[in-house]
Amino acid sequence: MTDASLPRYLAIAGPTASGKTAAALALAEHAHQHWQLPVEIVSVDSALVYRQMDIGTAKPSAEELVLAPHHLINLIDPLESYSAARFVQDARAAMQAIQSRGHLPLLVGGTMLYFKALFEGLNDMPATDPAIRAQIEQEALRHGWPALHARLQQVDATTAHRLAPNDSQRIGRALEVWHQTGKPLSHWHAGQDSRLGGHMPLALLSLEPSDRGWLHQRIALRFDAMLAAGFEAEVRQLRQRGDLDVSLPSIRCVGYRQAWEGMDQGEPVAIWREKALAATRQLAKRQLTWLRSMPWRQTIACDQPDAIGQLIRHAADALQREPASAWPGRN
């Protein structure tokens, strides 16, 4: 249940490369010009929190950051970790500050676990146990992550179904929770009795392609643009620090992991580029699966010419149901 005292907000979600940033900035501009309602954007992206990782995360440009205030970007060093629990805490604090200024919080991103944690609340799932995690990683070194994915299928088919066989971070966490509690991760995700109250948006505007091929083409074009902008050099600069490796959540971000491992193995760019594209397509597929589990979302076909216009109309409909007193600066 949503606490009525918490800030009202809109949310834009969608798979990678679906045009979320452009849609958010267009909505912010429209709201300011036509509704006299300033918008501030709160990032819902587990990669944008890292400093020194700009090109491969498709971080908003300096020009885009000027168009609307952004929050939860460049929070931590790549050596650090960020969690869904911290995201909920940070997002709520940002939204409260935004609404105190009479502005509209607009949450934008593709990290569906963060959205789910915010919408449905957090539960008392146990914290990470380094000893158990180390044991699982040793088994993965011996047998491979697909073998551990098969083991997860036996104890938690629901979670295994939504994970790729090489998704080491999430497979490891799911097995860790099983070893700690004797209960599958899906049990903790589904359980409502121990959750801390969720916080639902006025509307979840979901950018989803009607043609998957369109999205795959966008993914390839964007990754090639990243390469042209210096992504390879960005990864090499991170490697030169000497304190980062592929076991860290930051370096396991899609694109970075494939580049890092490719450099470890001396692969040419063309080889790890293909691996990165395949991993990004798999990420998009998982993101769409998450979104389809939210039947109350409002879907916008992002591959249609009027996608942004549709999104703005959906946002206007949601805001019209709200009292003007919700944002004092709005006429």
User: Residue 128 pLDDT more than 90?
Assistant: no
Three-class HEC string of 4-44 = CCCCCCEEEECCCCCCHHHHHHHHHHHHHHHCCCCEEEEEE
Inter-helix orientation angle 130-143/145-155, to 10°: 120
pLDDT bracket for residue 193 (50, 70, 90): very low
User: Considering the chain, what is the average pLDDT of its residues?
Assistant: 91
Q: In 188-248, where do the E strands start and end?
A: 203-208
Domains, the chain, with CATH or none:
10-122+195-325 (3.40.50.300), 130-190 (1.10.20.140)
Beta bridge partners of 245: none
Task: Name the residue with higher pLDDT: 34 or 180.
Answer: 34
Give me the mean pLDDT over the 270-282 stretch: 98
Torsion over CA: 126, 127, 128, 132 (sign):
negative
Beta bridge partners of 76: 50
Number of other CB atoms surrounding residue 19 within 10 Å = 20
